[in-house]
Structure 1
């Protein structure tokens, strides 16, 4: 999960009100529960010291949230009397979370908004393609490309002139596949998608995939269901896209954990660290490439100290004051401090499943990271 959309949260000082809000059912009883939940969240914020203007802004924002637009709920971040960011959740919180703290409460967002990758779906035919982006906010148009429109249909005879015409058809198909692949690569880059799904007939999909850059082919899946024509959408297509997204997430996590285990081994490359002190040091140096978070880990709630900037994080108060050149240091949760640092340096974040029955504890304490570079590889 990329956290670049959280940028507005790091452009102003706290303290912050954070509320993860479940919208309940779309009926009369659900409406009453939502009203009571809004009241409860605001009372919690007030009890923790939130100022009246910020609490009022949260109340107004939550009152406008409903199941039609946000079926899984929404998170609201507010400071200084206004809502700074409101984000749709992919799955409802098991319990409402409301807190007033120096930093925004971010770990639940990783759990509730998303490991689900942003998916660029390409609906392909012989003349072009339509692109659709699927993410937490629902599907939206992502552009289209049109290639040559003629000739695109083969002839049925074996006459020499017809065979010559068929060669032109093949050339048109090849040309259009190249144009679609080029436009798809641009749409992928511009949209910030994590993966691609190709929809179309068995000849068109591979022709486009073969012309994609190698790194894009590695994150591309295909499905035999659906097509570009109107009315070709189906439940089977929806299931295939969701299955491709799940497989992509599982593969990325497996690859990251394999690299993490190898990196922390005694004879490994040393590009993996775990535990708060090592992660704090990596955050100070902007070396975190992928932050790994296991929500049941004991280290998430450990106290760290931060200054005003995302990389001003330390294990001890005096160190934080030194980093911030004598400025005020504030105690915060380790996971919030590290997520702020990761987001500010465009690091990726992966949620690791809770420790299983065999005692697996990766990363130790619940926090770990893959590094952009080790000190031996430090840029000069």
Structure 2
């Protein structure tokens, strides 16, 4: 359950059977964490029962909430259970969206996950020293690294000497030592280039010895250098903590996601008045485009839906208005409109961006960037 990108969401959306969903603020009260946990479980159990969740789902969710998560500061957890089995349990660091959101029905309520983690960002942490370095490949949806590589270079004559005796010999020794450092970082650079090339990573955070960082940056490929940011700290030294590194990662990942959102909104604003039909800002037009798997990027404002519910379907076209023909698909029943739209987007491999209404043209509730023009625009 730790690895939960969009493919995992699509799988969750496809499975049959009703689900119980809980989004809860699980930040601990440092003065009395046990009391915080007990009160939260009691509140969640009552809310789930009122929503119609079966007892086996309530028990499974309570068991997850009893587990210590080990994350300091504000954090929330999203849990989805079906037939007594927890299918999703995601910790989402950062300020919670609400104290508690609970639901039960045909479609899991994954909007909080898409708000706080719109997509899965792949990134690399490289910690280097003059003897080599460690490289970790990670994803935003994973609690631990998905791959790790240690690069060990030469260690003989790795330390420079100081003193005035035999200046010429010392000079040759210093030069030899510098060459060893350079060769060691060339090994790290080669490994780092390969990882970036094969993984499609969008960010590298580089830390470690200052001279090692300089030598590494001089030897990496241009494509690697483009996504690299240096952290002026040696997290590889004894006694170092990862707090500063974690803050740097969070800041840069947030910047990547904000750039995604800005780019989508900018393209929608630019295309809203054009005749090429590649931007849709009408809610019902967006719905029709989702039904045709035409949406490349779905932008939604959850608090501005013009209808409370839409119909979820068991197969294509995945979503329908209450009056629509379901084209042979079986209705799963009415679900909250935003959940129906998000499900249809994920199941048709569209990217999702969640915004507030005032960020969309004419304060729309939904907009989309399309994969191909609408029929009317293409034939005009």
Question: Is residue 272 from structure 1 mapped to residue 283 from structure 2 by the alignment?
Answer: no
Residue in structure 2 matched with residue 105 of structure 1 by the alignment = 109
Residue in structure 2 matched with residue 220 of structure 1 by the alignment = 228
Residue in structure 2 matched with residue 372 of structure 1 by the alignment = 371
Do 1:271 and 1:372's aligned partners in 2 also have CA atoms closer than 8 Å? Answer: yes
Partner Cα distance (1:152, 1:350) in 2: 53
SS state at 1:37 partner: helix
Structure 1 portions without partners, runs of 5+: none
Question: Is residue 287 from structure 1 mapped to residue 294 from structure 2 by the alignment?
Answer: yes
- Identify the match of residue 304 of structure 2 among 287, 297, 309: 297
* TM-aligned CA deviation for residue 158 of structure 1: 7.6
Partner Cα distance (2:214, 2:365) in 1: 41
Give the TM-score, by structure 2 length.
0.76
* TM-aligned CA deviation for residue 22 of structure 1: 2.3
Residue in structure 2 matched with residue 249 of structure 1 by the alignment = 257
Give the TM-score, by structure 1 length.
0.76
For the structure 1 residues 331 and 242, does the alpha-carbon distance in structure 2 shift closer, same or farther, using more than 3 Å as the test? closer
* TM-aligned CA deviation for residue 130 of structure 1: 1.4
Partner Cα distance (1:165, 1:206) in 2: 15
- Length, aligned pairs only: 364
Structure 2 portions without partners, runs of 5+: 162-166
* TM-aligned CA deviation for residue 338 of structure 1: 2.3
Partner Cα distance (1:136, 1:66) in 2: 19
* TM-aligned CA deviation for residue 121 of structure 1: 1.4
For the structure 1 residues 184 and 195, does the alpha-carbon distance in structure 2 shift closer, same or farther, using more than 3 Å as the test? same
* TM-aligned CA deviation for residue 122 of structure 1: 1.4
Partner Cα distance (1:6, 1:294) in 2: 20
Residue deviations 1:268-316 (CA, integer Å, cap 9, x gap): x5433233322223323333333223343334x5422221126421224
Q: Tell me the C-alpha RMSD between the 2 structures.
A: 4.0
SS state at 2:229 partner: strand
* TM-aligned CA deviation for residue 199 of structure 1: 2.2
For the structure 1 residues 349 and 60, does the alpha-carbon distance in structure 2 shift closer, same or farther, using more than 3 Å as the test? same
For the structure 1 residues 25 and 235, does the alpha-carbon distance in structure 2 shift closer, same or farther, using more than 3 Å as the test? closer
Partner Cα distance (1:237, 1:59) in 2: 33
Partner Cα distance (1:346, 1:205) in 2: 41
Residue in structure 2 matched with residue 306 of structure 1 by the alignment = 312
Question: Is residue 184 from structure 1 mapped to residue 186 from structure 2 by the alignment?
Answer: no
For the structure 1 residues 333 and 235, does the alpha-carbon distance in structure 2 shift closer, same or farther, using more than 3 Å as the test? closer
* TM-aligned CA deviation for residue 229 of structure 1: 4.1
* TM-aligned CA deviation for residue 237 of structure 1: 4.2
